[in-house]
Structure 1
Amino acid sequence: MEGLSESLMHELAPRKLPEVLSELIDYCIDLDDQIRDRRTPREKPKRPLPRLAPVFQAPPRELSPPSESMQLGHTRLTEEERTRCFREGLCLYCGLEGHLRFQCPTRPRMHDKSENLLHLRQLRRQVLGVTCMSAVKGIKLMLPVSMAWETKTTHTTAFVDSGAAGNFIDVEYASSISLPLVVRETPLAVEAIDGRPLSCSRITHDTVTVVLTTGLLHKEEIIFQVIRSPSNPVVLGFPWLVEHNPVIDWAKGEILSLSPTCFGTCLIPIQHIGALNTPTAPPLSTEVPDQYADLRAVFDKRETEKLPPHRPYDCAIDIHPGTMPPRGKVYPLSITENQIMEEYIKENLERGFIRRSS
């Protein structure tokens, strides 16, 4: 994953990592803080370790002789104590195994700073999403899109990235299509998980409201944050996925269907053409010339209600054993279109023209 320091990647390699993204982010942040504390001693730590709470009494873990017990109640551990904690996987707060400092049950919570900590954690999660974009390899979920603003329209493809914390557009691409930009009231800081600034250290501009059409029928209004992303000029991130909640086949890179709420808000209604008032066609017998009277049965519509008999000269359609026909893409249909399709399938099943494959 790009954005992580080499020392942090080295520490993560032998460890069992959390499977939940939010827990993995907290795990990496806490481990990175520990590495920084170990590497550069500070005169006054940014987050001093509080004294042990009396609600949890745990026997202190003894260091191997001739070292003394870890004084975890002090505001600072010795370098030897920290080294032993890192080597044996011990908590820097209580000295026990099985958890890290941020997970310690005896560590008091700073309620007076909860709002600031929540804001910082949300910002760091946004940073992680931005960092992940360039690290995705293999199959990418790319959607054909068109963007319209004022009197202009442009067509391109958008990269759907569940790891991106926003909807982004490349600054060079926005300039090439003359897309107007708006200065943000509050710039959004962007840095890697280890604190290093990325190529764009701050997001200072947004786009104007753009009408984004995805595929053939999905239309919405959207605002993009402007970053440097030449490999993926348009990125639809986690907020877009949450809003539309599509069913995605990530292995094949396809969107199978959209959220039911999109049928009433985002999908373009299909225009139906009313039937024309035309006179009823004359009987068939009056349309068949006399010289073809003996072939009148061929023009009878009732003959179309059944399949013709098999004949020796029928063309065979051989299917290779153990194979399946290729699976076609599934496109979202309106409620009316779904009803028409179901009636068509039911009618042809009753006629025997088609049959269920399973």
Structure 2
Amino acid sequence: YDAILGKPWLYQINPHIDWRTNTLSLNDGPRNIKISASTSRTTKKPECHSLLISRHQLVRTPADEEIFAVCATSEEVTPKETYLSPEEAIILKEFANVFPAELPNQLPPKRKIDHAIDLVPGAELPSRPTYRLSYVEIDELKKQLADLTAKGFIRP
């Protein structure tokens, strides 16, 4: 896109948009300006892929393709103190046993009514590939799965 017109601009200028002819008309003082959209259409939609490629693959990339390299890092932020209104503080104090500092390492005790998901006998579970994950995400996923399996919350 050559220009993306936001709602504040459209609100301020209040142009006339003719959707059938793809034109935008606006008044700039005494002048009437008419802008036509490009009639050429791209045959290929832009795509964005997140993956790692080798130097050999990079050299073989067609000249008309675009390649972007982004290195996004996050700074470690110290948690800010949360402000509680006096009413919220009273409620939290009253129900302190409901909001523990740490969650227990086991499932809740068995009760008269227990939730269960009944499976259809002989039905196959859907098999789908996982999304591509970064090395950091894979490490975190492995930690979470190991932790939840050890606590008995999930099973392989």
Higher fraction of strand: 1
For this structure pair, what is the TM-score category when the shorter chain's length is used for normalisation?
0.3 to 0.5
Give the structure-2-normalised TM-score: 0.48
Higher relative contact order, chain-length normalized (CA < 8 Å, sep 6+):
1
Higher fraction of helix: 1
